[in-house]
Amino acid sequence: MTPAFTISFEDSDLTALIQQRLISLQITDNTAEQTDSLTIELADGDRKMALPDRGGVISVALGYKGNMRDMGKFILNNVSIEGPPDRVTLGATSAPFTAAGNFKPFQTRKSRSFDDITFGNIVATG
Q: What are phi and psi of 98, to 5 degrees?
A: -135, 165
pLDDT at 116: 82
pTM given for the model: 0.74
Question: For residue range 73-85, what is the model confidence (pLDDT) as tens digits?
Answer: 999 999 999 988 8
Long-range contact set of residues 68-75: C-beta below 8 Å, sequence gap at least 24: 68/4, 68/5, 68/6, 71/27, 71/38, 72/36, 73/101, 74/36, 74/37, 74/38, 75/100, 75/101, 75/103
| Number of domains forming the structure of the chain | 1
What residue numbers bound the domain in which 40 lies? 3-125
The β-bridge partners of 26 are: 39
Least confidently predicted of 31-40, 45-54, 103-112, 113-122: 103-112
Q: What is the mean pLDDT of residues 87-116?
A: 70
